[in-house]
Amino acid sequence: MRRLLSLIFWGCLALLGPIVRVTGESLPIPPILESVRMNDGTRFFELTADEGSREFSPGSSTKTLGYNGDYLGPTIRVRRGEKVAVQVNNRLDDITSVHWHGADVPAESDGGPHQGIPPRDSWLASFVVRQPAATLWYHPHIVGTTGRQVYEGLAGLFIIDDDESDSLDLPGEYGVDDIPVILQDRRFDADGEFTYRPSMPDVMHGYFGNAILVNGVLDPSKEVPRGPVRLRLLNGSNSTLLRLTLDGLPEMAQIASDGGFLERPVELSHIILSPGERAEVIVDFSQAGNSPVVLKAETNRGQLYDALEFRPVGNTATAWKAPDTLVAPENIPESEADRTRRFVLQSGMGGRMTINGKTMNMRRVNERVPLGSTEIWEIENRDGMMSQPHSFHVHAVQFRILDINGRPPPEYDSGPKDTVLLWPGDKIRIIARFDSFPGLFMYHCHLLEHEDNGMMGQFLIEAP
């Protein structure tokens, strides 16, 4: 049924034609952020959110937002065990915040709506990196304006390394054979500018675009070595689901999901990412022919984009030998769960987006979770009639999917996750240990128009 729904989504909604523009600009690689100082064993970073502008197509400039630049932000790269602190400066006219999506950090450093940074003010997040190697990301998280701020450019990658990932024989030269790929659809107008003016249907169904940006540019290309190349894929779109395939190679091997490595590489012909989700894949360009290989992105509106063109260079290498195992699986047995909570996602009249019938209220604690407990959260998308997918994100934990509509998850969805796609009518059970930090955290739909219009709640992790 779930597969059928997916086919219906990608098969029958092909109403809008593709926008094909081949400019072939070289793919920009977000720079690794240099730390500004070391102090008492803590590595300090600095991010500044500011206004800017960018010419996405020649001759037309769009107002944007960015961290330490005009659009998007640098990649923050840290090691497990490291003490880090990030000072965030807000040079916007609006309140903002920076949430470390997927990170296991204290509530006061989580960067959610309770850590808003007023205009011209700064905020310091500090934490010890406690979790395994993963590709996380960061973005604003203020109630009502997250969609606009992310859309206009505020987002960046947050990569964690550890000894285990170093010991694996995987491509790891950043920007060469280990390539960040931030995918975002945007709605450009006739003047070549993009604006964020969601109508009521946009709130209900998400602010869809008519072009796709990769690392902040249209139609880029990238020279790659003719061997295994690791892509760190992020769907950084506001509300658009992406189905990714390769034109020129039959498959790719997924090695990591949101929160880190899978047990073993999983060969896939396509990958579906909802907003906020990540996947790391190995693409073996030794198996490519002489033509470029194109990363194609199909949206749940049926648009098909040539998102990124890869041009393999160099001598033909031998085929990549995938490792048999990556990391030992860390499953949480269902028998360890202390309780089950239920969350029903549903759209209402007039764009009222609810979880368990309620819209987000900063003064309401929706759920109280005892520190150290293990819980099953059963999430249901009750928007079957509206054919509306949702993307459920939980702060503070990496969870495991127990089952999807009663069936165990596919292997690629069996690793650590912080965001999960729910097709209309889906019921998904996840399990997590809430054992890190006490404090107030968020759960919400990661379709940002839904989040901004109420589909969010708060849970308080309480120390005994």
**Least distance to Cu ion, CB of residue 392, Å:** 8
Q: Report how far residue 147's alpha carbon sits from residue 96's, in angstroms, rounded to the nearest whole number.
A: 12
Those residues whose C-beta lies under 8 Å from the C-beta of residue 190, and which sit 6 or more positions away, are none
Of residues 85 and 447, the one with the C-beta less far from Cu ion: 447
Of residues 105 and 456, the one with the C-beta less far from Cu ion: 456
**Least distance to Cu ion, CB of residue 306, Å:** 28
Of residues 18 and 348, the one with the C-beta less far from Cu ion: 348
Of residues 97 and 453, the one with the C-beta less far from Cu ion: 453
Select the residue whose beta carbon is closest to Cu ion and give its number: 445
Of residues 90 and 381, the one with the C-beta less far from Cu ion: 381
The Cα angle at residue 361 between residues 374 and 99, in degrees rounded to 5: 65
The Cα angle at residue 171 between residues 169 and 175, in degrees rounded to 5: 160
Of residues 162 and 449, the one with the C-beta less far from Cu ion: 449
**Least distance to Cu ion, CB of residue 348, Å:** 12
Q: Report how far residue 260's alpha carbon sits from residue 134's, in angstroms, rounded to the nearest whole number.
A: 4
Q: Which residues pair with 63 in a beta bridge?
A: 53
**Least distance to Cu ion, CB of residue 145, Å:** 17
Q: Which two tokens stand for residue 408?
A: 């165990």
**Least distance to Cu ion, CB of residue 422, Å:** 8
**Cα separations (Å) of 292 from 174, 175, 223, 310, 311?**
21, 18, 9, 5, 5
**Least distance to Cu ion, CB of residue 293, Å:** 33
Q: Residue type for 70, please?
A: D
Give which of 185, 286, 188 is closest to 244, Cα–Cα: 185
Of residues 264 and 352, the one with the C-beta less far from Cu ion: 352
DSSP secondary structure string for all residues of 337-378: -SEEEEEEEEE-GGG-EEETTB---TT---EEEETTEEEEEE
Q: Report how far residue 180's alpha carbon sits from residue 454's, in angstroms, rounded to the nearest whole number.
A: 31
Of residues 441 and 443, the one with the C-beta less far from Cu ion: 443
Of residues 125 and 420, the one with the C-beta less far from Cu ion: 420
**Least distance to Cu ion, CB of residue 286, Å:** 40
**Least distance to Cu ion, CB of residue 450, Å:** 3
Q: Report how far residue 108's alpha carbon sits from residue 81's, in angstroms, rounded to the nearest whole number.
A: 19
Phi, then psi, of 102 in degrees rounded to 5: 100, -5
**Least distance to Cu ion, CB of residue 147, Å:** 12
Of residues 284 and 452, the one with the C-beta less far from Cu ion: 452
CA-based torsion, 432, 395, 206, 346: positive or negative: positive
Where on the chain is the footprint of Cu ion (CB under 5 A)? 390, 445, 447, 450
**Least distance to Cu ion, CB of residue 381, Å:** 8
**Cα separations (Å) of 133 from 27, 267, 280?**
25, 21, 11
- Sheet order of strands, 390-394 included: 367-370, 456-462, 439-445, 390-394, 419-422
Q: What is residue 260's three-state secondary structure?
A: strand
Q: Report how far residue 279's alpha carbon sits from residue 126's, in angstroms, rounded to the nearest whole number.
A: 26
**Least distance to Cu ion, CB of residue 88, Å:** 27
Q: Report how far residue 338's alpha carbon sits from residue 234's, in angstroms, rounded to the nearest whole number.
A: 33
**Least distance to Cu ion, CB of residue 205, Å:** 10
Of residues 397 and 420, the one with the C-beta less far from Cu ion: 420
Q: Which two tokens stand for residue 38?
A: 């070391």
Of residues 112 and 132, the one with the C-beta less far from Cu ion: 112
Q: What is residue 334's three-state secondary structure?
A: helix
